[in-house]
Amino acid sequence: MEKLKVLFISQEITPYLPESEISNIGRYLPQGIQEKGNEIRTFMPRYGKVNERRNQLHEVIRLSGMNLIIDDTDHPLIIKVASIQAARMQVYFIDNEDFFQRKHVLTDENGEFFKDNDERAIFFTRGVYETVKKLRWAPDIIHCHGWFTGLIPLYLKKVFFDDPLFLDTKLVYSVYEDGFTGTLNKDFSKKAQTDIIKAKDVSTIKNPTFDNFTKLAIENSDAVIIGSEKLNPEIEKYISSIKQPVLGYKNPDEYVEAYSEFYHKLKNS
């Protein structure tokens, strides 16, 4: 099989965060794809809960320093990197003092959703793309894991589609049973708009529930993978109606082989 360049963008990765369905895939899938002779890059947010000293994170000065404007406010982009020695794999972290220094991930100490999770997701999305551009690395496949990555497909289709690095990139979105109750900030769809992204492009998240945010991600993806054995019925029904290729759930013993084959088919379609 031809060698692929695969960009993994994950909401969480172990050992930086506790083990979960997503964090385990975020850790072991890139390693498995790399061991098949492919080239990989892996990104996640640098939540305050990630222990920098224990995990030996360090800032990459040449990639840091850009300011990203979110809702009319400048936010400095800081890029850090760490290595998982056993996997011979580097992980890039998107960091910012305003969004990722708090000692929790997506909810506070009382289990309440952070009110700025929408802005954090926008910042993370833009930070990943700007960093990949600085790396001058053109991925064949982008594979997203976790709802926090749900804007990555939209930005590829609407903002970076004509960038030479992403002209031939195909995007895969994995859907998990990682939902949240309630909604993100009611102004999420307005904040997500840019000179290029119009209101109609984000109309799906006018009511920013988990289901609607997942639908937005799916409708802008080239293919979908069912990452959890069970999904909520509304998302299952929606996936059954889409035209994009869908790969069903695969258990940990088989997903590396199955995903690899899926990537190659998608790349050559």
For residue 212 the two structure tokens come to 């609607």
Q: What is the pLDDT of residue 174?
A: 98
- Are 9 and 45 in contact by the 8 Å Cβ rule? The answer is no
Q: What is the pLDDT of residue 111?
A: 86
For each successive 10 residues of the chain (269 residues), what is the average pLDDT?
94 96 98 97 96 95 91 92 93 96 91 93 97 97 98 97 95 95 94 94 97 98 97 96 98 97 96
How far is residue 163's CA from residue 94's CA, in Å, rounded to a whole number? 21
For residue 133 the two structure tokens come to 């551009």
Going along the chain from its start, the domains and CATH numbers come out as 5-267 (3.40.50.2000)
| pTM across the whole model | 0.97
109 contact partners, CB below 8 Å, separation of at least 6: none
- Are 198 and 250 in contact by the 8 Å Cβ rule? The answer is no
211 contact partners, CB below 8 Å, separation of at least 6: 179, 232, 234, 235, 238
